Structure 1
Amino acid sequence: MGYKVAVVGATGNVGREILRIMAERNFPADQVVALASESSVGKEVSYGDDDVLKVQALKHYDFKGTDFVLSSPGAKVSAEYSPKAGKAGAVVVDNTSHFRMDPDVPLVVPEVNPDALKDFGKKNIIANPNCSTIQMVVALKPLHDLGIIKRVVVSTYQSVSGAGREGMDELFNQTRSVFVNDAMERHKFTKQIAFNVIPHIDVFMDDGSTKEEWKMVVETKKILDPKIKVNATCVRVPVFIGHAESVNVEFERDIGAAEVRKALQKAEGIIVVDHRADEGYVTPQECAGEDAVYVSRIRDDATVENGISMWVVSDNLRKGAALNTVQIAERMIQDGLV
Structure 2
Amino acid sequence: MVDGVPLVIPEVNPEAIDGIKVGKKKGALIANPNCSTIICLMAATPLHRHAKVTRMVVSTYQAASGAGAAAMHELELQTREVLEGKPPTCNIFKQQYAFNLFSHNAPVLENGYNEEEMKMVKETRKIWNDMNVKVTATCIRVPVMRAHAESVNLQFEKPLDEDTAREILKTAPGVVVIDDRTSNRFPTPLEVSNKDDVAVGRIRQDVSQEGNHGLDIFVCGDQVRKGAALNAVQIAELLL
Q: TM-score range by the shorter chain?
A: over 0.9
Q: Which has the higher strand share?
A: 1
Partner of residue 47, structure 2: 143
Partner of residue 173, structure 1: 77
Q: Which has the larger radius of gyration?
A: 1
Query: Is it true that 1:103 corresponds to 2:3 in the alignment?
Result: yes
Q: Please report how far the alpha carbon of residue 277 of structure 1 lies from its aligned counterpart in structure 2 after TM superposition.
A: 2.5
Query: Is it true that 1:233 corresponds to 2:138 in the alignment?
Result: yes
Partner of residue 232, structure 2: 325
Superposition RMSD on alpha carbons, in Å? Answer: 1.3
Aligned length: 233
Equivalent residue for 2:59, pick from 116, 135, 155: 155
Using the aligned pairs only, state the percent identity.
47
Deviations 1:164-201, CA, capped at 9 Å, x for gaps: 11111110111010122222221111321100011123
Q: TM-score, normalised by structure 1?
A: 0.67
Which SS does the other structure have where 1:156 is aligned? strand
Query: Is it true that 1:263 corresponds to 2:163 in the alignment?
Result: no
Partner of residue 273, structure 1: 178
Gaps of 5+ in 1: 1-100, 334-338
Partner of residue 191, structure 2: 286
Q: Please report how far the alpha carbon of residue 228 of structure 1 lies from its aligned counterpart in structure 2 after TM superposition.
A: 1.3
Partner of residue 33, structure 2: 129
Partner of residue 18, structure 2: 118
Gaps of 5+ in 2: none
Q: Please report how far the alpha carbon of residue 141 of structure 1 lies from its aligned counterpart in structure 2 after TM superposition.
A: 1.2
Query: Is it true that 1:312 corresponds to 2:195 in the alignment?
Result: no
8 Å CA contact retained: 1:161, 1:167: yes
Letter of the structure 2 residue corresponding to residue 105 of structure 1: V
Separation in 2 of the partners of 1:323 and 1:140?
19
Letter of the structure 2 residue corresponding to residue 219 of structure 1: E
Deviations 1:86-116, CA, capped at 9 Å, x for gaps: xxxxxxxxxxxxxxx0112100000000011
Equivalent residue for 2:92, pick from 158, 166, 188: 188
Partner of residue 243, structure 1: 148
Q: TM-score, normalised by structure 2?
A: 0.94
Which SS does the other structure have where 2:152 is aligned? strand
Separation in 2 of the partners of 1:253 and 1:200?
33
Higher relative contact order (CA 8 A, sep 6+): 2
Evaluate the alpha carbon distance shift between residue 320 and residue 292 of structure 1 in structure 2; reply closer, same or farther with a 3 A threshold.
same
8 Å CA contact retained: 1:104, 1:122: no
